[in-house]
Amino acid sequence: MSMTLNHFPYKRVTVTGGGGFLGRHVVQKLRAIDNVEVFAPRSREYNLVQMPDVVRLLDDTRPELMI
């Protein structure tokens, strides 16, 4: 079953857990949409249980949508 998104409203999307089982499929689908920049941070780059890393992630990626 294929799905197309003609009017996906977000241009910058951050997917936490993008390297995991579900997350990698989400990232793959999002990257198939034209004009969407997808950022999937790794835990070695951003420890998302630490507030300074969360703030740095948001500053670095400026997501319109975070999954």
pLDDT per 10-residue tile (average), the chain, 67 residues? 68 95 96 94 94 98 97
Q: What is the pLDDT of residues 17-28, one digit of tens each?
A: 999 999 999 999
- Helix intervals (H) in the chain: 21-31, 51-61
